[in-house]
Structures are given as structure tokens and as C-alpha cells.
């Protein structure tokens, strides 16, 4: 599980759905929460929270400039990788923090990923969870 600490910047609520924007290392990370903020005390503007997302939910792209609905785009550098015949785990540096992505070997080879490459890690808003910061 990838975890990045951040500060809640904005909360928009409609019924029991909330879109929460969290600033982490100079980047806004957006999460869709299926719960009204009044039911979760830690969901307040200015609070420190942990944003969490699975390695399997991190999409990797090179030189991506097209329009896309994915809101969360983290500019990273490849720290390293471990590849098997089917899957590869790619370790990324995002502003001094390590996050990881698990992609297919085919995608890894197609992207020609090497150490120190610049990569964009993308995570759908619906795949980001929030938790209180300890």
C-alpha cells in the first residue's frame, strides 16, 4: 500500500459523496469518499491525513500530454524495479517519497522503463482512500 501524508485543502459534498483535495508535496491529490464529512471527524479542511492507494492501481505513463479523466498525476523518477515473467514492481521517487506500481511485464517492456527515467504515476480518484494521520 502506498501512503502519502498531506493536508486537506478542499471538501465538496453532495449527499453522502465527498470529493476531497489533499495537498501532498506540492501536488493536489483527489479522493472520492463515500461518507459525509460530518460522520468522519478527521475530514476537515486543514487537517493532516494519509492518502492511500494500492500498487496495482498506479498507472504509469511516459511523456503523457493527452486529455484524460484521471485527476491524480504524480511526476516521479524511477528508483528501481523487480521483474518476473508476468509482472513488474516499479519503485518510484515522488518528491523524496517512494511509491510503487505493479504493472504487467508487457507494459513495462513497451514503456522501456530504466532507472532514473521520468515517469508520470496516475491514480483514479475512486482508488484513493483517506485515513487520519497518527
User: E strand or H helix at 19, and its extent?
Assistant: strand 17-24
Closest CA to 31 of 130, 101, 121: 130
- Could you give the 3-state DSSP secondary structure of residue 109? helix
Each residue of 49-75: pLDDT tens digit? 999 999 999 999 998 788 889 999 999
Question: Which pLDDT does position 92 carry in this prediction?
Answer: 98
Each residue of 2-33: pLDDT tens digit? 999 999 999 999 988 999 999 999 999 999 99
Q: How far is Cα 57 from Cα 37, in angstroms, rounded to an integer?
A: 25
- CATH 2.40.50.100, domain 2-132, yes or no: yes
Q: What is the CA radius of gyration of the chain?
A: 16
Instruction: Give me the residue spans of the domains in the chain.
Output: 2-132
Bridge partners for 103 per DSSP: 88
Question: Which pLDDT does position 38 carry in this prediction?
Answer: 77
Share of the chain above pLDDT 70, in %: 100
Share of the chain above pLDDT 90, in %: 84
Amino acid at each position: 500500500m502506498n501512503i502519502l501524508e498531506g493536508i486537506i485543502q478542499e471538501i465538496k459534498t453532495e449527499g453522502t459523496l465527498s470529493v476531497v483535495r489533499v495537498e501532498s508535496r506540492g501536488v493536489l491529490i483527489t479522493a472520492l469518499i463515500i461518507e459525509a464529512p460530518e460522520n468522519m471527524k478527521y475530514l476537515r479542511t486543514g487537517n493532516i491525513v494519509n492518502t492511500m492507494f494500492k500498487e496495482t492501481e498506479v498507472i504509469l505513463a511516459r511523456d503523457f500530454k493527452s486529455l484524460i479523466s484521471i485527476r491524480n498525476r504524480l511526476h516521479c523518477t524511477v528508483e528501481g524495479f523487480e521483474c518476473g515473467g508476468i509482472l513488474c514492481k516499479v519503485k518510484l521517487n515522488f518528491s523524496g517519497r517512494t511509491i510503487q506500481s505493479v504493472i504487467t511485464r508487457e507494459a513495462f517492456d513497451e514503456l522501456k522503463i530504466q532507472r532514473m527515467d521520468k515517469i508520470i504515476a496516475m491514480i483514479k480518484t475512486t482508488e484513493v482512500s483517506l485515513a487520519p494521520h497518527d
